[in-house]
Structure 1
């Protein structure tokens, strides 16, 4: 993907979308309004609405091929890709086939894999193989790796021997590993070259490389010696040796390492690209920032879905069908409703206590809601801290102690409000029981919310699976147990 296309991709991914209804038969569902600036629709941030794609939808419906070509010529690849992803697969192929050859690949690489598969199904063999041949090896490997077997076989069979070899090598790495995302198309420099000679190599081979801003430097055994930036080459004396200016402290990762960890490391180190090596420290490729951005986006999207008690759904939200969205959420909701029976069991066990002091029932919603909120806050904070590397599983004792104190302080503050309200509507003993229960529940919820993701990580389970709704459900049941036990002790029931 070209640098310009990567910038467009990054911009597209951080845009905020607002939904507005529009009665268009070609769309799978109602399209969102996308804010924008600096375009020909200069009507303010939120006034663009569906203007970008409205004309395109009308022209496809009217089979206005000339108008579609003009529309495509007026819009950048990232906007075209966004509009295609909102359409039904039957209509998506029409504007795509009308793209100029030099823009077809740019638009295709902007699409999500799900929609790339839909495009490929609608292409003739010649166009199908030509498009795949022109793709970057890393993008092609991920596309084929996620494609149905029929498309994958057809894709590999039509590649040239050189491209097939590169693609097969990347597919040989584990799924979700750095090897699946790195690019092998790089300019490799030997550490004994002079700066002048190195620049000649870059000029000769740079056109075939995905990036030349970061250049790997190797020794005689192709082992990575470090990297040199193109800017450093340009400003250095031509007679200087690369080994004198190479950065030997640059972070590196193994091709079999998890891609998310490598992408987070790139983000932390502010790198444009990071070298990838094999088990013998030989250079095998570069992980570029655009691919790292895709990895982080996918990981964050998955974590958000898990934390909201849903399964991740591939593809553009607008184009995902209602049954698929329902299926992604139904399993988790079924598990949570089963887990919530614990709350019913606790209430049933303390039924006699409630009959004796009915005023206790008034504060059940407040206690369960407060405990659930505290637990959710704690769980969300720890899952996020784990994702960005701020805490590790071995930090569990320290995290639990810190969150215990945080929960206690929050409980004390909230207990003052609870006691004030309770004193006005119920006997003093009940108000005291409620206040002390708030302190205990908040402390317990903070500990549970912080330790469950860490324990999940230690067990090899994705910490995001221990989502806020799951923590809330558990805290509800245990919080009621604390509340009724506290009331029995204080009120002498």
Structure 2
């Protein structure tokens, strides 16, 4: 059951009459639930609530938030409020949030962040949007092949608690006999679609990213791949519907009510005009057989049936072929 609709009214009342108590009152909520809750609240009240959240909770909430809520945060909240929230996130999550801003508008946020976190986010933002580099994090456990099991466990006990995963351990040196010798990895420039296919094929919980010298520089965790798959599914569904993949849809953001009418129209008008022109050919065909239709009027009754059946058959064919292409069951030569 969704808790957001149940809490929205009470939270709004608190935000309007006692906003200082919001931080303590909302602290127990999971970030995903809080993001859903914000989506149920009017824009101005959303801004008030986000201003009073603890930095870590604000950052984690923005990771799960809708495009409209994220836009409000990045445009209405002070940079001094957003920067600590970005500092509390994994570098890949911070970079993902900053990527929604034009490059020239990222600088003030990066300047307000701590030096280490800003550097990590900048390094990820250097990679292309659809590459593995944008998904990886440099917080992982690194061990030496010369260590024994006892030394390894001792190292894990003192490892940074913010590491992304300890399900898999990676070593730069020669792999010992108890470790996997042939490690599947990707480079920062690998396409994100290929990353998703590798994780799905081998069932990895994390995938190492290596540089040209086969030195590990980061890992991509399964949760990032799941987010990527959701984004790709949204993009595929929009393209199948003839909707442009340009902004605001290009990152898989489908916030229908949070998007301006102008952007919605711009994303759809191109294909609608093309289909309108294509439909004029239907009229040309009917005019060509106007004489036959005049002789046998009953034939005109079948025209809607033929057009509808043709459209349905076309939609089914397009859906199956696109899905087969996505799964690489059909390949373009």
TM-score relative to the length of structure 1: 0.60
* CA radius of gyration, larger in: 1
Distance change in 2, residues 1:88/1:328 (3 Å): farther
Aligned residues: 327
Once the two structures are superposed, residues 206-246 of structure 1 have per-residue CA deviations (whole angstroms, 9 ceiling, x without a partner) of: 324222222222226xxxx6xxxxxxxxxxxxxxxxx2222
- The verdict on how the C-alpha distance between 1:354 and 1:333 changes in structure 2, with shifts beyond 3 A counting, is same
1:259 to partner: Cα distance:
0.8
Displacement of 1:315 in angstroms is: 5.2
Q: Does 1:176 align with 2:109?
A: no
Taking a change above 3 Å as real, the CA distance of residues 73 and 193 of structure 1, as seen in their structure-2 partners, is closer
Find out whether 1:275 has 2:229 as its counterpart. no
Match of 2:294 in 1: 355
Q: 2:255 and 2:17 mapped to 1: Cα distance?
A: 25
Contact 2:186–2:208 (Cα < 8 Å) also in 1: yes
Match of residue 370, structure 1, among 287, 292, 309: 309
Distance 1:181 1:78 in 2: 20
Cα displacement string for residues 345-365 of structure 1 (whole angstroms, at most 9, x for unaligned residues): 222222233234333322222
Partners of 1:386 and 1:73 in 2: CA distance: 45
User: What is the CA deviation profile of residues 49-73 of structure 1, one whole-angstrom value per residue up to 9, with x for unaligned ones?
Assistant: 832323223444x434266456524
C-alpha separation in 1, matches of 2:288 and 2:183 = 61
> What is the CA-CA distance between 1:293 and the residue it aligns to?
1.0
How far apart are 1:273 and its partner, in Å? 0.9
Distance change (3 Å), C-alpha of 1:114 and 1:199: farther
Within 2, Cα distance between the matches of 1:107 and 1:263?
Answer: 24
Equivalent-residue separation in structure 2 for 1:247 and 1:358 (angstroms): 75
1:447-478 Cα distance to aligned partner (Å, 9 max, x none):
xxxxxxxxxxxxxxxxxxxxxxxxxxxxxxxx
Q: Distance in 2 between matches of 1:217 and 1:152?
A: 34
Q: Any idea what the Cα deviations from partners look like across 1:394-419, whole Å, max 9, x if unmatched?
A: 4xxxxxxxxxxxxxxxxxxxxxxxxx
Alignment correspondent of 2:256: 317
Q: 1:197 to 1:112 in 2, by over 3 A?
A: farther
For residue 178 of structure 1, report the CA deviation from its aligned partner.
0.7
The superposition leaves residues 141-186 of structure 1 with CA deviations (integer Å, 9 ceiling, x where unpaired) of: 2222221345301122223333233222211211211101111111
In the alignment, which residue of structure 1 is the partner of 2:267? 328
Structure 1 spans left out of the alignment, 5+ residues: 1-34, 37-47, 226-242, 395-493
| 2:30 is the alignment partner of 1:54 | no
In 1: Cα distance, 2:214 partner to 2:68 partner: 35
Instruction: Report the Cα distance in structure 1 between the residues aligned to 2:305 and 2:277, rounded to whole angstroms.
Output: 22
Equivalent-residue separation in structure 1 for 2:4 and 2:80 (angstroms): 37
- Within a 5 Å distance, the mapping from 1:393-412 to structure 2 comes to 393-394=332-333
TM-score between the two structures when normalised by the length of structure 2: 0.87
SS of 2:17's partner is coil
Q: Partners in 2 of 1:213 and 1:176 — Cα distance?
A: 25
Shift of the 71–327 alpha-carbon distance from structure 1 to 2, 3 Å rule, reads farther
Q: Any unmatched runs of 5+ in structure 2?
A: none
Match of 1:213 among 167, 174, 190: 167
The aligned counterpart of 2:321 is 382
2:189 alignment counterpart:
256
Q: Does 1:304 align with 2:243?
A: no
The SS at the match of 1:279 is coil
> Does 1:292 find its partner at 2:292?
no
Which residue in 2 is equivalent to 1:137? 91
| C-alpha displacement of 1:377 | 0.9
Describe the superposition over 1:326-361 as per-residue Cα deviations: whole angstroms up to 9, x where unpaired.
433333222211121121222222223323433332
Cα distance in structure 2, aligned partners of 1:54 and 1:246: 54
SS at match of 1:274: strand
* 8 Å contact from structure 1 (residues 81, 108) kept in 2: yes
User: Alpha carbons of 1:311 and 1:260: their partners in 2 closer, same or farther (altered >3 Å)?
Assistant: same
Matched, 1:83 2:37: yes
Q: Does residue 96 of structure 1 match 2:46?
A: no
Kindly report the root-mean-square deviation, in angstroms, between the aligned alpha carbons of the 2 structures: 2.6
Secondary structure of the corresponding residue to residue 141 of structure 2: coil
